[in-house]
Amino acid sequence: MIDMHLPILLIVVPLVSAPLCVLLRQKTLVWAFASLVCVASLGLASMLLIRVLEEGVISYAIGGWIAPWGIEYRVDTINAYVLLLVSIIAAVLMFFALPSVVDEVSGKQHYLFYTAYLLCLTGLMGIAITGDAFNVFVFLEISSLSSYTLIAMGRDRRALTASYQYLIMGTLGATFIVIGIGLMYMMTGTLNMFDLSQRLPPMFETRTAMVAFAFLTVGMLIKLAMFPLHMWLPNAYCYAPSLVTAFLAATATKVSIYVFLRFTFTVWGAEFVFEKLNLDIFLIPLSLIGIYVTSLSAIYQTNIKRLLAYSSVAQIGYMMLGIGFVSVTGLTGGIVHLFNHALMKAALFLAAGCVVLRLGSSNLADWKGLGRRMPVTMAAFVLAGLSLIGVPLTVGFISKWYLILAALEAGWWPIALLALLSSLLAVVYVWRVVEVAYFQKADDDSKIKEAPLMMQISMWGLTGATLYFGIQTDLTVNVAQRAAGLLIGVTP
Amino acid sequence: MSGSTAILVSIALPLLGMPFIALASRSPNVREAIGLIAAVLTFGTVLSLLPSVMDGAQPAAHVTDVMSGLSLAFKVEPLGMIFALIASGLWIVTTVYAIGYMRGHHEENQTRFFVFFAFAISAALGVAFARNMFTLFIFYEVLTLSTYPLVTHHRSKEAMRAGRIYMGILMSTSVGFLLLGMVWTWQLTGTLEFAPGGILTGKASEGIVIVLLGLYTFGTGKAALMPFHRWLPAAMVAPTPVSALLHAVAVVKAGVFTIMKVVIYLFGTELLSGAGLSEWLTYIAGFTILVGSLVAMTKDNLKARLAYSTISQLSYIVLGASLANDLGVLGGSMHIVTHAFGKITLFFCAGAILVALHKTEISDMKGIGRQMPFTMFAFLIGSLSIIGIPPFAGAWSKWYLVLAAIEAHRYVAAGVLLMSSLLNVLYLLPIPIYAFFATATNDHHADGLHEAPLACVLPLLFTAAGCLVLYIYPDPVLHLLLMIGGAMP
């Protein structure tokens, strides 16, 4: 019974639980309830991935209305992988949530916080699971609206402007997407993705198709924070509560990238996008420029959370670069990096969150001497930072390996070299933090305690995962390879 | 203990020692006893592999497949065996020395020092035993990272700046070139396994082979080939035991060892020598040898002079590899051993002088032979070995290298080697000579014995004696080295 309805349960459970949070006003109680829901989602998502790997594509008709008339949830390797990623992050972060939210969110808003958190989770999972283009938009709005709320709950009053900025840009992106989807519907009379992929090819020559594609793509690129459409991201990540930053950094942009993959490869098809419209000619240089520009910006930041945010934009560049190669290896690199980067960036933001809890500041200048004052937290920060650089035995290395290999396979060795050299910029911005924390003496050398155990569990869980998946790549690489094969249309 | 267990145990032992060393931080005696025990056990384990390797076996161990076809795996071949023996054996000696030095010099944070030291040794052994380029690269990078806290041990502005140069050069060369070369090799051949005769034959055009060789040799920044040598003098801000074991033996030898392995087992000497594809490298190495020696002459700081001398000497080994014939491989590999003993002796002496007399500049060292006769005598022996004068070990490696250069008809290389010996005489020998025969300028308590602690002096006498023993009895080393490339002696 559960097996049959896995896809819908994955959405319904958090969706129904979200309003229930409002009823539980006690801080710990509402946290416990939300945690339970996240763990349940993780269980459901894992079961779903296992089923997909065993049986292949699962199609679920909502309410028994068969597609293309009804809404279809369609799960294959790639979105099962994304669903697992989102639910893992959501569940692991819940340990961190209890002390961190108490510290950073006003006491009266706790139940609202967890409501928004679960709604955001629902939205992200919904985007990933649905096989219906309009449904993507609906869930996108659910996740976006709840994340505007979450960001606005930050302690700093600038969180409000950051949230507003994100609201404007996010709405712009969503509007573009809905215009694109509307045009597609106008041309074909269907909203089901699979059906669209069948009906679109005859329209490829029309200007409407081009316009629809353009709107849709720009909208998606805004949502996934592709350079130069990333301006909303640094402020949003910087002023949001630490937990929210870690959650959004690890999931929101990743799910948007999934949407991009789904529309470009499944709905429009690689042939149209890359051979007819040559999107890669624009994607690859833009990714590389983005990597360099935003990495350089990261180097000059004085706030750690903002530094990490710029680094996120740069890392998105790597993922888009991998996608731009339009080969199985390149896509594998991009998809693996999507997973790997989620782990390491969440770990880094959590480490920053631990420091914020104790110091109340994420300004680099206040991090002097932290290597001595909070050795455990800083150790996690350094390890996850090494992963960001792409040192062997960490996940970052695995991603880098596939991206470079893809560039060389395509015969583009200058791109391989440029991508490698860009990772040296990551050395610089990670090392800037290391030097401040370990080489400079703190102005106020009073003793501070390490972060509470609950937060350490989340942080070290993710840091450990960046090391584990750097050595054991069975899950990450194999699944990514299968997903890449599916998208390109070759079965490995 | 079976071969594969011994391999894993020898790499794990230093790592296992780390937490215990850290836990014993309050009691220096216990801490150092643990360090010493870990070192002895590690060396014993490495040594237990020797008999079977001598008999031509190649014990192997497989840890895991990181990506399909790319495994974390180990295999002991003769060259790796030698390197592992040197790194782990000299670790014991250096631990004893470090105890005397760190206490005598009142260094801070000694626990952190011993912990990361153990980490670095484990990484060096991983490099030595690596079965494929992939594994080697992993440990190569770990070695860079684990030595960073040692280089920046003093946490001063100067240490921080040195650390930047250290990380900057080693990281950018390994990421920018070595990794690129490795992925490229993988893309061309579908394997990164070290195989006798190489894996690239027939898989890459001559042009690509030359580019790849460039990526590998310049990518291995630890070999300090010019123009990527600046990190080595910078690393001298570290405490002397670090300079002695890591920046004269483990780290730099890991670099030239990598180049040797790549030349022998990835390219294959035949591929390179056939069309003279590695000839350009001979000239780069020759250039580094001469310029390194010339710069060394200008340095008054003893450690800085020794650092440039190391840069120059490392290129002997690269030069041996670039000749791509059996004698070159033999001479180069032999030089890994002989230079290790000679240079570690010199660094030990430099540290002993610092501890006993607080002197770092060569111009202040006139007449110190009367206060530190044992130390300066050892310094003389080390110098003679580096120069390559019999009856000291350095003579062997230089002999084979010159023979190899003649065999390859690269007479310029032979000339460079001879010229370099002359330069070595000029920048090394004056130090002991002035120490013994000149009178101290303005030292009021210049008479009377004033040696460093016994824990410092004994190790340096030991390694100096090693220089002599290796000359008289080089047979085991030669036996092993002749087996390189899968050939039986």
Q: Is the domain of A323 the same as that of A186? A: no
Query: Over 80: is that where the pLDDT of A2 sits?
Result: no
Q: Is the domain of A199 the same as that of A261? A: yes
**What percentage of chain A carries pLDDT values higher than 90?**
41
Tell me whether residues B187 and A420 touch, CB distance under 8 A: no
Give one DSSP letter per residue of A77-139, joined into a string. Answer: HHHHHHHHHHHHHHHHHHHHHHHHHHHHS-GGGHHHHHHHHHHHHHHHHHHHHB-BHHHHHHH
Q: Last residue of some domain: A256, A277, A298?
A: A277
Tokens of B192: 């990164």
Tell me whether residues B175 and A413 touch, CB distance under 8 A: no
Q: Mapping DSSP to helix (H, G, I), strand (E, B) and coil, where does residue B108 land?
A: coil
Question: Which residues in chain B have Cβ-Cβ distances shorter than 8 Å to A391?
Answer: 141, 145
Nearest CA in chain A to B172: A424
Question: Which residues in chain B have Cβ-Cβ distances shorter than 8 Å to A424?
Answer: 171-172, 175-176
Q: What is the mean pLDDT of residues A252-263?
A: 91
Q: Which amino acid is at B341?
A: F
Tokens of B34: 């643990």
Question: Which residues in chain A have Cβ-Cβ distances shorter than 8 Å to B183?
Answer: 401, 404-405, 408, 416
Q: Is the domain of A203 the same as that of A289? A: no
Q: Is the domain of A386 the same as that of A418? A: yes
Tell me whether residues A398 and B66 touch, CB distance under 8 A: yes
Interface check A484 vs B, CB under 8 A: no
pLDDT of residue B441: 63
Tokens of A480: 């990514």
Q: Alpha-carbon distance A96 to A385, whole Å?
A: 19
Place of tokens 């909502």: A62
Query: Over 70: is that where the pLDDT of B158 sits?
Result: yes
Q: How many CA atoms lie within 13 A of B265 on its CB side?
A: 25
Q: Alpha-carbon distance A312 to B210, whole Å?
A: 37
Place of tokens 């319904």: A12
Q: What is the pTM of this model?
A: 0.90
Q: Is the domain of A325 the same as that of A376? A: yes
Inside any domain, residue B428: yes
Q: How many CB atoms lie within 10 A of CB A109?
A: 14
Tokens of A311: 């680094």
Q: Last residue of some domain: A277, A296, A323?
A: A277
Interface check B138 vs A, CB under 8 A: yes
What is the total count of domains within chain B?
1
Q: How many CB atoms lie within 10 A of CB B442?
A: 6
Domain that holds residue B400: 279-489
Interface check A421 vs B, CB under 8 A: yes
Q: Is the domain of A167 the same as that of A242? A: yes
Considering only CB atoms, B184 lies closest to which of A391, A408, A424, namely A408
How high is the mean pLDDT of chain B? Answer: 85
Q: Alpha-carbon distance A441 to A171, whole Å?
A: 45
Nearest CA in chain A to B152: A439
Query: Over 60: is that where the pLDDT of A491 sits?
Result: no
Inside any domain, residue B467: yes
Interface check B67 vs A, CB under 8 A: yes
Q: How close is the nearest chain B Cα to the Cα of A326, in Å?
A: 17
Residue range A268-300, pLDDT digits in tens: 888 888 888 888 888 899 999 999 999 999 999
- pLDDT grade, residue B488 (50/70/90)? very low
Domain that holds residue A409: 281-492
How high is the mean pLDDT of chain A? Answer: 88
**What percentage of chain B carries pLDDT values higher than 70?**
97
Tell me whether residues B67 and A413 touch, CB distance under 8 A: no
Q: Last residue of some domain: A222, A242, A277?
A: A277
Q: How close is the nearest chain B Cα to the Cα of A301, in Å?
A: 19
Q: For the ranges A49-58, A192-201, B160-169, B273-282, which has the lowest average pLDDT? A: B273-282
Q: For the ranges A4-8, A31-35, A221-225, B144-148, which has the lowest average pLDDT? A: A4-8
Q: How close is the nearest chain A Cα to the Cα of B187, in Å?
A: 7
CA dihedral (B238, B145, B79, B286) positive or negative: negative
Tell me whether residues A424 and B167 touch, CB distance under 8 A: no
- pLDDT grade, residue A345 (50/70/90)? very high
Tokens of A280: 């890669």
Inside any domain, residue B323: yes
Contacts with A454 (C-beta within 8 Å, 6 or more apart), sequence order? A95, A96, A98, A99
Residue range A83-112, pLDDT digits in tens: 999 999 999 999 888 888 888 888 788 888
Give one DSSP letter per residue of B54-82, joined into a string. Answer: HTT---EEEEEEEETTEEEEEE--HHHHH
Interface check A386 vs B, CB under 8 A: yes
What is the total count of domains within chain A?
2
Considering only CB atoms, A421 lies closest to which of B64, B155, B176, namely B176
Q: Is the domain of A32 the same as that of A67? A: yes
Q: Is the domain of A313 the same as that of A461? A: yes
Q: Which amino acid is at B214?
A: G
pLDDT of residue B489: 38
Q: What is the H or E stretch that residue B279 is in?
A: helix B279-298
Inside any domain, residue B334: yes
- pLDDT grade, residue A145 (50/70/90)? very high
Query: Over 70: is that where the pLDDT of B421 sits?
Result: yes
Burial of A279 (0-12, 13-18, 19+ CB in 10 A): buried
Contacts with B103 (C-beta within 8 Å, 6 or more apart), sequence order? B28, B453, B455
Contacts with B108 (C-beta within 8 Å, 6 or more apart), sequence order? none
pLDDT of residue B54: 83
Highest mean pLDDT among A92-106, B432-446, B449-463: A92-106
> Which of A248, A90, A98 is CA-nearest to residue A166?
A248
Inside any domain, residue B383: yes
Q: Is the domain of A239 the same as that of A372? A: no
Inside any domain, residue B157: no
Residue range B369-420, pLDDT digits in tens: 888 888 888 888 889 898 888 888 888 888 888 888 888 888 888 888 889 8
Inside any domain, residue B168: no
Tell me whether residues A405 and B142 touch, CB distance under 8 A: no
Q: Is the domain of A367 the same as that of A381? A: yes
Q: What is the mean pLDDT of residues B294-298?
A: 90
Q: In degrees to the nearest 10, what's the CA dihedral of A292, A297, A300, A306?
A: -130
User: How much is the ipTM here?
Assistant: 0.85
Q: How close is the nearest chain B Cα to the Cα of A414, in Å?
A: 10
Q: How many CB atoms lie within 10 A of CB B211?
A: 16
| Residue B301 φ/ψ, nearest 5 degrees | -75, 130
Considering only CB atoms, B138 lies closest to which of A393, A417, A427, namely A393
Q: Is the domain of A269 the same as that of A289? A: no
Q: How close is the nearest chain B Cα to the Cα of A417, in Å?
A: 7
Q: Is the domain of A95 the same as that of A210? A: yes
Q: Cα separations (Å) of B64 from A390, A459, A468, B71, B135?
A: 19, 26, 12, 6, 11
Interface check B442 vs A, CB under 8 A: no
